[in-house]
């Protein structure tokens, strides 16, 4: 068994320790045990006594070690406890005595006791300071989570256990703290002045008030305001979790919305806009005459104009002061003006009396054409006439209302008329555009190139196109005659007459008739042939020839029925029987149309006979027989040598009208017949011409008289 052994005593200078401040003691020491370990927990036999030099004992108890001493080897042990009396009363020294156990034989277990350290302190330490505001919670952990709360002045204090380590964190809704927390390590002394700086958390409400200078009112603890800048923007801060109403205001304005209400704001509020509408008032009444100008100044010079009944209305700013003056050329007004001061309500029935000062006004312009008549009514129906340049001017009475209408035969006008209401000033530049009224006459002339002639002031023509169509314009109410023409053609109808044309005239068609050629007497009449002759027809491209032995052409010569003759006016008809009477006629053709038949020409082919077997001894031409004659006569002639013979008939003017013989004749006496049926009465010349091979000629002439 272990028993209480010898005591070890140590003294310490504690003169620097203040009295009444410390009541807890901690002792640490180094032990080296003996060779034989104790048989049990011998620490119950180890005691420590703390006393001062005056004999006062503050602590005397069994040492509470950190554990059972090991059986061998050195170790450090700690003893701690509360002093009794509870507080140290002060002094210069403290004395510590250790009583160690010994074994049954009386040998100590401790061979060395060294490095003794004594710490005298409070049982617990204090952390204190100011959190910056009342109601701050300071959170920390000392064994378990704990808190302390700041007082009305923001101060706080709390105790922590001996040798405490941990973090203290201040917090309160709506606030931030600097520093955000404080960390402590192995605290063995009071921690004072552990202060924090508190900053309220705020949020911004911002937007545009709609007008510069608007006041935004709200309450955050106390009534507050913010003012919109030069462009209407505003911004202010409110407390964390703020609730309240913001109301914009500015004299002379209303706002939409009227206010905005917020609840528990914990974020910035942007774009909190308002629409500002100026408060205005209306000034209205009647000026007494339409078109009156009412002049006033509201920031800048402004005007309003009275309507057709003289009524007017305009708005002015809130609290407006100024003068309204009516004016209109030709009028004076009573009152001459009306003055207003600090207008805060609509001003109605602000009437004036208008009195004319000018009695007439001029309406002038250009009618678009000389001689136009401008009709209007000013008490009575009146008119004026545009001059040679189309200009016009007339006077109407003051405040005249009416319509002016231009007119002129064969013309339309744009505008058709002009209407005026309550004329109170000269009306210039009242122009019209005059447009001649025309109509079209059109149709088909029946042939290309036809000339359509008419008179519209002067003689005029238009030519039918390649499809024979034509078109021309005449003025309104035109009267006249249109005549188609083309060389070689006649037309049906010959012309068309128009009277007071007032609409387009379409399908004014003509039928073009190709003229018939004039058949002329046959020439070079021989025994078996003659030349058929006719006049040229303009426009004809060729001719068609008929030859028959009767005037009714019931016995036509097959070769000469509708014979196509190129564009020529003579054709030799051959293959005839001597002494036979033939008839011929001609038609013209233009590639499309065929004319009617020409007149009929007859002729008798020569019948050459030898009068006797006696050969003549000289050339000679006998007088015809009978003479005078109607319609035919016989002509005898004599040939003394074989030669070329021509026997021709001429009229009194020397024109050849018939060739009775044209060919070589042998020596002999011959006769030829001249048919004068198609000729007029009168003297005709018969001439015999004979030419020998040697170039000698014989010519003899006789006169004949045809009487019908």
- The enclosing domain of 679 has a CATH number of 2.60.40.2550
3-state secondary structure of 140: strand
- Say whether both 32 and 59 belong to one domain: yes
Q: What is the pLDDT of residue 605?
A: 81
Q: Please check whether residues 131 and 80 belong to one and the same domain.
A: no
pTM of the predicted model as reported, rounded to 2 decimal places: 0.37
Identify whether residues 582 and 625 lie together within a single domain: no
Q: Which of 513, 546, 563 marks a domain boundary?
A: 513
CB burial of 633-651 (b: ≥16 within 10 Å; e: otherwise) equals bbbbbbbbbebebbbbbbb
Same structural domain for residues 418 and 486? Answer: no
Q: What is the pLDDT of residue 50?
A: 54
Q: Phi, psi (5° rounding) for residue 45?
A: -105, 5
Single residue among 379, 401, 436 that ends a domain in this structure: 436
Task: Give the angle 300-301-307 at the CA atoms, nearest 5°.
Answer: 130
Whether a cis peptide bond, with omega within 30° of 0, leads into 474 is no
**Same domain membership, residue 482 and residue 506:** yes
For residues 675 and 587, state if they share a domain: no
Peptide bond before 503: cis, by omega within 30 degrees of 0? no
Task: Please report the beta strands in 590-693, taking only residues with DSSP state E, as ranges in sequence order.
Answer: 601-604, 609-610, 620-621, 632-639, 643-651, 656-665, 668-675, 682-691
Q: Are residues 618 and 628 in the same domain?
A: yes
Q: In this structure, what CATH number is given to the domain that contains residue 59? A: 2.60.120
pLDDT band at 80 (very low <50, low <70, confident <90, very high): low
Q: How far, in Å, CA of 388 to CA of 431, rounded?
A: 15
Tell me: do 19 and 117 sit in the same domain: yes
pLDDT band at 96 (very low <50, low <70, confident <90, very high): low
β-strand partners of 191 = 127
For residues 636 and 584, membership in a common domain is answered with no
pLDDT digits (tens, 9 = 90+) for 387-445: 999 999 999 988 899 999 999 988 999 999 999 999 989 999 999 999 989 999 999 99
Beta-sheet strand order (sheet of 110-121): 75-82, 24-33, 110-121
Cβ pair 155, 174 in contact under 8 A: no
CATH number (domain holding residue 508)? 2.60.40.10
64 confidence band (pLDDT: 50, 70, 90): very low
Domain boundary among 356, 390, 407: 356
Lowest-confidence region among 69-83, 269-283, 369-383: 69-83
Q: Which residues of 377-402 are buried (b: 16+ CB within 10 A; e: fewer)?
A: eeeeeeebebeeebebeeebebbbeb
206-210, 671-675, 701-705: least confident range? 671-675
pLDDT over threshold 50, residue 2: no
Q: Are residues 114 and 136 in the same domain?
A: no
Q: Distance between CA 49 and CA 673 in Å, rounded? A: 206
Do 310 and 404 lie in one domain? The reply is no
Is the per-residue pLDDT at 253 higher than 50? yes
- The whole-number pLDDT of residue 269 equals 97
Residues 424 and 364 in one domain: yes
Residue 117: what pLDDT? 59
Q: What is the pLDDT of residues 144-198, one digit of tens each?
A: 999 999 999 999 999 898 789 999 999 998 899 999 999 999 988 889 999 999 9
4 band by pLDDT with thresholds 50, 70 and 90: very low
**C-alpha distances in Å from residue 667, one per residue of 10, 491, 638:** 213, 58, 8
| pLDDT higher than threshold 50 for residue 21 | no
Tokens of 20: 């009444």
Residue 295 sits in a domain of what CATH number? 2.60.40.1120
Domain encompassing residue 318: 280-356
Q: Provide the number of structural domains found in the chain.
A: 8
Please check whether residue 663 is in contact with residue 644, taking contact to mean a CB–CB distance below 8 angstroms.
yes
Between 274 and 48, residue with greater pLDDT: 274
């Amino acid at each position: 068994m272990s028993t209480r052994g010898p005591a070890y005593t140590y003294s310490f200078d504690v003169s620097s320790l203040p009295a009444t401040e410390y009541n807890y003691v901690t002792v640490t020491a180094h032990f080296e045990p003996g060779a034989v370990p104790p048989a049990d927990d011998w620490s119950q036999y180890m005691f420590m006594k703390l006393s001062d030099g005056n004999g006062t004992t503050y602590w005397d108890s069994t040492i509470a070690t950190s554990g059972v001493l090991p059986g061998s080897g050195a170790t450090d042990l700690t003893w701690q406890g509360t002093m009794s009396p509870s507080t140290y009363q002060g002094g210069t020294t403290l004395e510590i005595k250790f009583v160690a156990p010994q074994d049954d034989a009386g040998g100590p277990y401790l061979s060395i006791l060294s490095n003794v350290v004594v710490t005298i302190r409070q049982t617990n330490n204090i952390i204190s300071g100011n959190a910056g505001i009342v109601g701050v919670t300071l959170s920390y952990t000392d064994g378990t989570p704990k808190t302390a709360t700041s007082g009305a002045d923001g101060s706080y204090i709390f105790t922590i256990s001996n040798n405490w380590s941990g973090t203290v964190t201040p917090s309160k809704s709506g606030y931030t703290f600097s520093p955000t927390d404080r960390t402590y390590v192995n605290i063995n002394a009071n921690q004072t002045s552990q202060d924090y700086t508190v900053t309220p958390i705020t949020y911004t409400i911002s937007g545009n008030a709609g007008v510069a200078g608007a006041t935004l009112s709200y309450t955050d603890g106390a009534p507050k305001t913010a003012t919109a800048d030069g462009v209407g923007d505003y911004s202010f801060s409110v407390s964390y979790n703020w609730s309240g109403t913001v109301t914009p205001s500015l004299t002379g304005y209303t706002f939409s919305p009227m206010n905005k209400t917020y609840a528990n704001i914990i974020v910035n509020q942007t774009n909190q806009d308002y629409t500002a509408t100026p408060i205005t008032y209306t000034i209205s009444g009647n000026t007494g005459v339409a078109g009156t100008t009412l002049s006033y100044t509201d920031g800048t010079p402004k005007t309003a104009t009275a309507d057709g009944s003289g009524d007017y209305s305009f708005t002015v700013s809130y609290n407006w002061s100024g003068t309204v003056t009516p004016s209109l050329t030709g009028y004076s007004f009573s009152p001459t003006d009306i003055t207003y001061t600090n207008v805060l309500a609509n001003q109605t029935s602000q009437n004036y009396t208008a009195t004319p000062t000018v009695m007439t006004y001029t309406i002038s312009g250009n009618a678009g054409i000389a001689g136009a008549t401008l009709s209007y009514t000013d008490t009575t129906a009146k008119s004026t006439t545009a001059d040679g340049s189309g200009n016009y001017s007339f006077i109407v009475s003051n405040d005249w209302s009416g319509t002016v209408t231009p007119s002129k035969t064969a013309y339309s006008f744009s505008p058709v008329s002009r209407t005026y209401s309550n004329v109170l000033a000269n009306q210039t530049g009242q122009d019209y555009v005059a447009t001649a009224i025309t109509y079209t006459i059109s149709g088909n002339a029946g042939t290309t190139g036809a000339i359509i002639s008419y008179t519209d002031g002067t003689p005029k023509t238009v030519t039918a196109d390649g499809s024979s169509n034509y078109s021309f314009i005449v003025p309104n109410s035109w009267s006249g005659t249109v005549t188609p023409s083309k060389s070689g053609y006649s037309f049906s109808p010959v012309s068309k007459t128009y009277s007071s044309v007032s609409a387009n005239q379409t399908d004014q068609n003509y039928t073009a008739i190709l003229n018939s050629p004039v058949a002329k007497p046959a020439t070079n009449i021989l025994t078996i042939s003659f030349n058929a002759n006719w006049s040229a027809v303009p426009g004809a491209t060729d001719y068609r020839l008929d030859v028959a032995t009767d005037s009714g052409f019931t016995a036509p010569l097959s070769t000469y029925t509708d014979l196509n003759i190129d564009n020529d006016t003579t054709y030799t008809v051959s293959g005839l029987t001597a002494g036979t009477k033939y008839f011929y006629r001609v038609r013209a053709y233009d590639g499309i149309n065929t004319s009617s038949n020409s007149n009929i020409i007859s002729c008798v082919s020569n019948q050459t006979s030898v009068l006797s077997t006696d050969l003549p001894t000289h050339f000679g031409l006998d007088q015809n027989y009978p003479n005078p004659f109607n319609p035919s006569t016989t002509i005898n002639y004599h040939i003394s040598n074989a030669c070329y013979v021509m026997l021709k008939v001429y009229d009194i003017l020397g024109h050849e009208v018939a060739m009775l013989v044209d060919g070589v004749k042998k020596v002999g006496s011959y006769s030829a017949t001249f048919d004068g049926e198609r000729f007029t009465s009168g003297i005709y010349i018969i001439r015999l011409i004979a030419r020998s091979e040697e170039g000698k000629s014989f010519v003899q002439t006789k006169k004949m008289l045809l009487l019908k």
